[in-house]
Amino acid sequence: MFRQARWNEPLLNELSKEEDNFEKVKLEGLPDEVIREKLDIPNLTEKRVIRHFMRLSQMNFGVDFGTYPLGSCTMKYNPKICERIVSNPKLKMLHPLQPQETCQGILQILYELAQCLVEITGAYKASLVPSAGAHGEFVGALMVRSAIKDKGELDTRREMIIPDSAHGTNPASAAMAGFRIVKVPSNSEGLVDIEALKGVVGKRTAGIMLTVPNTLGLFEKNILEIVSIVKEAGGYTYYDGANLNALIGKVRPGDMGFDIIHLNLHKTFATPHGGGGPGSGPVCASKEVEEYLPVPLIEFDGRKYYLEYNRPKSIGLVKGFYGNISVLVKAYAYIRLLGSKGLRNTSERAVVNSNYLLSLLDKRFYEVPYGTSMPRKHEFVVSVGKALREKGVSAKDIAKALIDYGVHAPTIYFPLIVQEALMIEPTETEEFEEIEEYARILNEIAYRAYSDPEWVKGTPYNTSVERIDEAKASHPRTMCLNWKNLKKV
């Protein structure tokens, strides 16, 4: 039985009972009025700090511990060799502003990685700078903006078309780049409604941002028509690669006609998610728009690798230095381990796993919305709306029950077009036996939702803490955002 550790581990500042201030100092060359007088950070032994964080780690759950099918997050196993490779002092100790002739090794690796990503996406050129998927989206939206500005159409082309099933980052990124969002609805199959799309494109269209496969796990079978509708209207096409794990080696966004594509290396290319980051979200561009990519790009003149800043049409810098380098190196190591066949097998297995899991679920409880006859790709979405209506058991309750079994929950309440949604992405690294076990747990929870709904609503019981009071956490009167507030309460 799963039972997570329950350390009553105090906060760091509670571990130290003494006054933690330091001595006053006087330094030649430093005016007294700029010297700090007080700093309340505890002074602990290394051993106590280690115990603190080791205890905390035991109250956390990662891919290394169990199935973690968080939809659209692609929580696949992270090969350990990639961690070892980036522990190389030749990388760790390298300052980004060293003369480029002293950085040829890393520049070569980044250059080769960019080449691989260009091949994988069917694009023309790649920037490795963006630090996350959303960062890549913002970069892409800025590139669209620059391209439109160059054509002198910025006054009219202010609309970004985004399907109602899109991740929240798409509308947020486009809005940050100054676009108005035009939502295009999904049809009964869960795909972009072509007629509705035709109705919204026009002279005001800046472009479309599309996630393929979409968040229902469905491939947009009319993808070529969608791209050409937007292009004929004078808009640009942006491919959100969050879900590319379904398609590597099978089909390329560039061949679908997309102008700008971002990838999530922490998803598709197996770099660890770090409890929320660091990630990496490279942006690949077609020949038509590559000149707008952020600087610097990494180039090779046949003799040496170098950082290219001299790109007059570039949107400019989007981050200090050149990207989340060690994440990029890990992703490249992963690509080299798998090669093209291995990557294709990865996508195929991810799709098989997701469809297999779906096939094992009790559909009376886990209802499949949209396009029930279509194969899913790397993920699928089911609704537990019926259980909510009949027994008051919500998607959140199902998620909490799952973690009680020592597996992670899927993404819930997303996409927004599905009531009480569970969005499940097992990835290729789960074995069939684990898929079968996850299905067994889900079906058992479904059964208990009817036989003993209060049990489900009371979960979790076996985690470090039981169900959390979220309302208290965000209520202005009880909100506590740092340990200074704590002393006041």
Partner 1 sequence: MTKFFKDYSREKLDKVLEKIGVKNVEELYSDVPDSIKIKGEVNLPKALDEIEVEEYFEKVLGKNIVHDEVLTFLGAGLPPHYVPAAVEAIVSRSEFYTAYTPYQPEISQGILQALFEYQSMVCELTGMDVANSSMYDWATGAAEALRMALRVKGKKKVLVGENIGPERKSVIRTYLEPLECDVLEVSYDSVSGRIDLVDLENKVKDSCALYIENPNFFGIIEKDALKMADIIHNEGGIFIVGIDPISLGLLKPPGEYGADIVVGEGQSLGGWLNFGGPSLGIFACKGDMTLVRQMPGRIIGMTTDLSGERRAFTMVLQTREQHIRREQATSNICTNEALMAVATVAYLALLGSRGLRKLAVEIFERAHYACRRLSEVKNVIAPYFSGEFYQEFTLKLIGGDINKFFNRVVDKKIIPGVILTRYFPKLDNVLLSCFTEVHTIEDIERLVETFKEVMA
Max CA pair span of the chain: 78
416 token code pair: 């927004």
Nearer to partner 1, 218 or 233 (CB): 218
Question: Judged by CB under 8 A, does residue 40 bind partner 1?
Answer: yes
| Sheet with strand 380-383: strands edge to edge | 380-383, 421-424, 411-412
Question: Judged by CB under 8 A, does residue 348 bind partner 1?
Answer: yes
Question: Judged by CB under 8 A, does residue 390 bind partner 1?
Answer: no
CA quadruple 219, 225, 227, 229: dihedral, nearest 10: -140
Question: Judged by CB under 8 A, does residue 138 bind partner 1?
Answer: yes
Nearer to partner 1, 21 or 451 (CB): 21
Which helix (H) or strand (E) segment is 162 a member of? strand 159-163
Give the DSSP letter of residue 34.
G
Binding span for partner 1 by CB under 8 A among 195-203, 232-240, 283-291, 479-487: 479-487
Residue 479: phi and psi, rounded to 5, are -65, 135
Binding span for partner 1 by CB under 8 A among 31-39, 197-205, 382-390, 418-426: 31-39
The amino acid occupying position 95 is H
Question: Judged by CB under 8 A, does residue 276 bind partner 1?
Answer: yes
- Does residue 122 come out as left (phi exceeding 0), alpha (psi in the -120 to 50 range) or beta? left
Question: Judged by CB under 8 A, does residue 96 bind partner 1?
Answer: yes
Position among 165, 326, 383, 394 found at the interface with partner 1 (CB under 8 A)? 326
Neighbouring CB atoms inside 10 A of 232's CB total: 9
Nearest approach in angstroms of CB 209 to partner 1 is 11
* CA-angle at 125, arms to 119 and 126, nearest 5°: 90
Question: Judged by CB under 8 A, does residue 21 bind partner 1?
Answer: yes
Nearest approach in angstroms of CB 364 to partner 1 is 18
Residues in contact with partner 1, total (CB under 8 A)? 195
Nearer to partner 1, 3 or 389 (CB): 3
Give 427's contacts (C-beta < 8 A, 6+ positions apart).
69, 74, 75, 76, 77, 245, 350, 353, 378
Question: Judged by CB under 8 A, does residue 137 bind partner 1?
Answer: yes
Question: Judged by CB under 8 A, does residue 134 bind partner 1?
Answer: yes
186-215 binders of partner 1 (CB under 8 A): none
Nearer to partner 1, 10 or 199 (CB): 10
Question: Judged by CB under 8 A, does residue 421 bind partner 1?
Answer: no
Give 473's contacts (C-beta < 8 A, 6+ positions apart).
479
Question: Judged by CB under 8 A, does residue 237 bind partner 1?
Answer: no
Rounded Cα–Cα distance for residues 280 and 262 (Å): 10
Nearer to partner 1, 300 or 390 (CB): 300
Rounded Cα–Cα distance for residues 453 and 447 (Å): 9
Rounded Cα–Cα distance for residues 144 and 17 (Å): 56
Rounded Cα–Cα distance for residues 443 and 363 (Å): 9
Binding span for partner 1 by CB under 8 A among 35-43, 285-293, 385-393, 445-453: 35-43
246-265 binders of partner 1 (CB under 8 A): 247-252, 255-256, 264
Rounded Cα–Cα distance for residues 85 and 106 (Å): 12
Give the three-state DSSP class for 49: helix
Question: Judged by CB under 8 A, does residue 363 bind partner 1?
Answer: no
Burial bucket for residue 468 (CB in 10 Å: 0-12, 13-18, 19+): exposed
Nearest approach in angstroms of CB 179 to partner 1 is 8
Binding span for partner 1 by CB under 8 A among 233-241, 333-341, 362-370, 385-393: 333-341
Question: Judged by CB under 8 A, does residue 172 bind partner 1?
Answer: yes
Question: Judged by CB under 8 A, does residue 158 bind partner 1?
Answer: no
Binding span for partner 1 by CB under 8 A among 41-49, 192-200, 232-240, 386-394: 41-49
Give the DSSP letter of residue 9.
P
Nearest approach in angstroms of CB 267 to partner 1 is 9
Contact code string over 107-126 relative to partner 1, x by CB under 8 A: -xx--x---x--xx------
Question: Judged by CB under 8 A, does residue 455 bind partner 1?
Answer: no
Question: Judged by CB under 8 A, does residue 362 bind partner 1?
Answer: no
Rounded Cα–Cα distance for residues 75 and 61 (Å): 12
Residue 381: phi and psi, rounded to 5, are -125, 135
Binding span for partner 1 by CB under 8 A among 230-238, 362-370, 387-395, 480-488: 480-488
Question: Judged by CB under 8 A, does residue 49 bind partner 1?
Answer: yes
